[in-house]
Amino acid sequence: MADAEDTAIGVLVWLAGEPELMGRFLALTGLEAGNLREAAREPGFLAGVLEFLMNHEPTLMEFCAATGTRPEDVTRAFHALGGSSQA
């Protein structure tokens, strides 16, 4: 599970460097930048970060290219963190 958490945290860090995508993530989740740290402690948050990425293939592929992560590793991490198979 640590690898899955590391993958999700990596996505969050990458999003932080992509203002437009981070803005979209915040808008879709209803979060604000100031309460991300608090939200990250909630069950399901990290799976939600991965789900956000997986729900838009161009963004997923951009993340994978930028970080050297394989798309299937993102999917595996999502499921390890309790994400549903509907994503």
pLDDT, one tens digit per residue, over 13-66 is: 999 999 999 999 999 999 998 898 899 888 899 999 999 999 999 999 999 999
Token pair 């460097």 in the structure block, residue: 17
Residue 87's pLDDT band (cuts 50, 70, 90): very low
DSSP state of 86: T
Of 66, 81, 57, 82, residue with least CA distance to 11: 66
> pTM to 2 decimals?
0.88
Q: Is the Cβ–Cβ distance between 5 and 46 less than 8 Å?
A: yes
